[in-house]
Amino acid sequence: MPELPEVETIVNDLKLKVLGRTFIDLWTDADGLIKRPKKFSDFKKGVAGEKIQSVRRRGKNIVFELSGGKAMLIHQKMTGHLLLGKWSKAAQGWKPEVFGPIADDPMNRFLHLIFWLDDGSMLALSDMRKFAKAELWGAKDLRESQETDLGPEPLEPEFSFEKFKDRLKDKKGKIKQVLMDQEAIAGIGNIYSDEILFQAKVAPFRSVSSLSDEELKEIYKAAKEILKKAIKARGASVSDFRDLQGEKGGFQKLAKVYRREGEKCPECSAIIKREKMGGRSAHFCPNCQI
């Protein structure tokens, strides 16, 4: 699932490409992607004709602030990513009209939601498994809902160590699971929780209550450093993620433990392990992380 760095990469590109553009028309072949309102026809009616005034990220969500006091939310979920280009309808789906990664990479061919913009370009959601969602809100209602449902943003200047510690103080779970809890802290998932804990030298199975202030400070510092490094690398494409141009991110080449099971730890040469944790996997060095 795209995490904070992948979503930030998409949002940064969207800010450069679509601000001020107006949605002209919409198409889908997967009505189930539309969660609010329930009917695609109502969603289409509410979005068409509205101008994109700003684009922002909240947690793992992409939010388009629209004219008319509206906001459109897109969550890419497990296998979804937004693409900007031009396509023409063909017998077997949508055919890209330009050469490049969008046309060459097979992960970019699963178009299930398309927006036509007033400059002739098209914004498309490619989602192999169709788990993504799109919602139309009143802008004020969405902001209020997100402040209730999501924790603070870890890269915001006001996210101090004291605030970080306060978010964790009543948590009883294991540190990796708590870092991925979107109500505790927004945006961190499986990839970056592994990398953060490796840099902090803390085992993913440690209970939050067992961590010292020094260990918490290392996790806090690592979270900011790893997320910034991943944004600079334009996210991680360990499976499905592609950027707005259909290209892979680069952080997977920099990952030190995530999906490195059986390889040597880059710090001590011990063998990296992978263990199940609540339906997810934790990758870690059994020697470095205590």
Question: Active-site residue numbers?
Answer: 2-3, 60, 280
Backbone dihedral angles phi then psi of residue 91, each to the nearest 5 degrees: -60, -35
Beta bridge partners of 66: 52, 70
Question: In whole angstroms, what is the distance from residue 189 CA to residue 271 CA?
Answer: 23
Closest CA to 1 of 264, 290, 240: 240
Pick left, alpha or beta for residue 89 (phi over 0 → left; psi -120 to 50 → alpha; otherwise beta). Answer: beta
Enumerate the β-bridge partners of residue 133: 75
d(CA 248, CA 101): 9
- Contact between 119 and 24 under an 8 Å Cβ cutoff? The reply is no
**Residue labelled with tokens 């730890």:** 265
CA nearest 74: which of 107, 36, 42?
36
Residues 6+ apart with CB under 8 A from 169: none
Q: How far apart are CA 62 and CA 8, in angstroms?
A: 8
Nearest-CA neighbor of 155 among 124, 196, 120? 196
Which residue, among 85, 9, 26, 73, has the nearest Cα to 245 in the 3D structure?
A: 85
What type of residue sits at position 76? Q
Cα R_g (the chain), whole angstroms: 20
Q: Would you call the peptide bond into 37 cis, given omega within 30 degrees of 0 as the criterion?
A: yes
